[in-house]
Amino acid sequence: MFKILEKQEIAPNIYKMAIEAPRVARSAQPGQFVIVRVGDKGERVPLTISDYDKERGSVTIVTQTIGVSTKKICALNEGEYLHAFAGPLGLPSEFIKEDIEELRKKRILFVAGGVGAAPVYPQVKWLHENGVEADVIVGAKSGEMLIMEDELRAVAGNLYIATDDGSVGFHGLVTNLIADLIENQGKVYDEVIAIGPMIMMKFVTLTTKKYNIKTIVSLNTLMVDGTGMCGACRVTVGGKTLFACVDGPEFDGHLVDFDEAMRRQGMYKSLEARANEHADHTCKIGLGK
Percent of the chain whose pLDDT exceeds 70: 91
Are 139 and 113 in contact, with CB atoms under 8 Å apart? yes
pLDDT digits (tens, 9 = 90+) for 174-207: 999 999 999 999 999 999 999 999 999 999 999 9
From the DSSP assignment, how many helices (H) and strands (E) are in the chain?
10, 16
Are 248 and 90 in contact, with CB atoms under 8 Å apart? yes
DSSP state of 254: G
Q: What's this model's pTM, rounded to 2 decimal places?
A: 0.87
Instruction: Work out the number of other CB atoms within 10 angstroms of the CB of residue 129.
Output: 9
End-to-end CA distance of the chain: 42
For 79, phi and psi rounded to 5 degrees?
90, -15
pLDDT digits (tens, 9 = 90+) for 44-100: 888 999 999 999 999 999 999 888 888 999 999 999 999 999 889 989 999 999 999
Listed in sequence order, the residues at least 6 apart from 81 whose beta carbon sits closer than 8 Å to its beta carbon are 1, 2, 3, 4
Domains contained in the chain, CATH given: 2-89 (2.40.30.10), 94-193 (3.40.50.80), 219-289 (no CATH)
